[in-house]
Amino acid sequence: MAEKIVPVDQLVKEAKNVYKEQFGEEADIAVFAPGRVNLIGEHTDYNDGFVMPMALPLVTVIVGKRNVGQNVSLYTTTEFLKEAQKTTFELPNEGALIRAIARVGPKWAMYIKGVIVNYLGSIPPGFNAVIHTSVPIGGGLSSSASLEVATYLFLDQLVGNTNEAISLTQKALACQKAEHDYAGMPCGIMDQFISFLGKKDNALLIDCRHLTSSHIPLNDDNVVVLITNSNVKHELTGSEYPTRRKQCEEAALILKKVSLRDANLEDIKYLQSLNANPEIVTRARHVITEIQRTTEAAEMLKQSNFVKFGKLMTESHISLRDDYQVSCPELDSLVDLATEVEGVLGSRMTGGGFGGCTVTLVYSKSAEKVIQNIKNKYKGTPTFYLCKPSPGASVVS
């Protein structure tokens, strides 16, 4: 059986209760930002390619209130091994030319610190806040971006910023820079983009070069998106993610391209003719073919051709497994177990890889059969979420 997804209003209520326990007062600001699942287009965002995520009903909520000082006090309801759930730090002086906050303290707070430093408005005042999330941590569903985007929206409310001259794209870029600078994660723009721009009943095709996007309807009652969490945790900052990015940049350099967005299948043959490092060749092959798959998948979704869309999803997984080598036995097993059930249209790993989740497009009537098949045969303890595309970040009145 799939996990029950807690509604935003209930999460806000729970967070406000914790806030009162921690700070002895009522919170007067409440915001949320969703996690995401990427339907197709993996490891293409930092190669100027196309991606197609959807926002999830799994969200990060932040509630809080301005305080009288220049300190920030944060409490997270998530328990982290060997990390404090509460932390306090001082904001930079308003007259400082360089806005910086010490990169010390629990790692989860680095995402919030990074957003404060990169905030595109006046320096925020001191505040107290509680962070409460239903997005699985380390599951590849972008818990980090949902925290960053929720933080940015919270700061907007805190300083009363209604400046429409600062676009959602600029805000997403500020959150991305926060992750680069403070979490040490050289992520692409997809996660922050979809968390801001998600729309109910729509996936989002993002052009990561031009930072443009278009909503693509995904609201057929006959199909549903099943997310299966392998519950194998991954730590991208210290993993092979930066290595993959460097390999892609090296391939583009050899090909004299700005990025692999500009490459095609003939370029793969050219790399092979140069006797380039085989890993460079396979990394490039994944990115080039994945970009093609993603643009084709967008067209299939517009036509409600879910059979072809699902086939492209499964091809994406094979490429991620064999060419990009970011899958793992647990993810491969989940994909295999899903696709052996009649009614499954396609399945693939999603997120950075080396653990986390799979995403499966399945006819609604077959979803529970898939869950049961995986429960019976998977050598682990998976969790399941049945999802539809959900709204992006918002203030809770």
Q: Name the nearest CA neighbour of 291 among 353, 208, 349, 347.
A: 208
How far apart are alpha carbons 230 and 380 in whole angstroms?
A: 7
Give me the DSSP letters along 292-345.
HHHHHHHHHHHTT-HHHHHHHHHHHHHHHHHTS----HHHHHHHHHHHTSTTEE
Q: Which residue has the tokens 């910023």?
A: 161
Beta bridge partners of 76: 131
Q: Is 267 noted as a catalytic residue in this protein?
A: no
Give me the DSSP letters along 189-203.
SHHHHHHHH-BTTEE
Per the CB < 8 A criterion, the answer to whether 206 and 42 are in contact is no
Per the CB < 8 A criterion, the answer to whether 91 and 123 are in contact is yes
Q: State the pairing for strand pair 127-133/71-76.
A: parallel
132-to-74, 79, 145, 260, 342 alpha-carbon distances in Å = 11, 11, 14, 38, 38
Q: Name the nearest CA neighbour of 56 among 132, 179, 143.
A: 143
Instruction: Tell me how far apart the 2 most distant CA atoms of the chain are, in Å.
Output: 68
Q: Which residues contact 272 (CB under 8 A, 6 or more apart)?
A: 281
Q: Which residues contact 164 (CB under 8 A, 6 or more apart)?
A: none
Q: How many CB atoms lie within 10 A of CB 389?
A: 27
**Of 45, 48, 191, 323, catalytic:** 191
What tokens appear for 290 in the block? 């994945």
27-to-14, 67, 136, 316, 373 alpha-carbon distances in Å = 12, 11, 25, 44, 44
The set of catalytic residues is 191
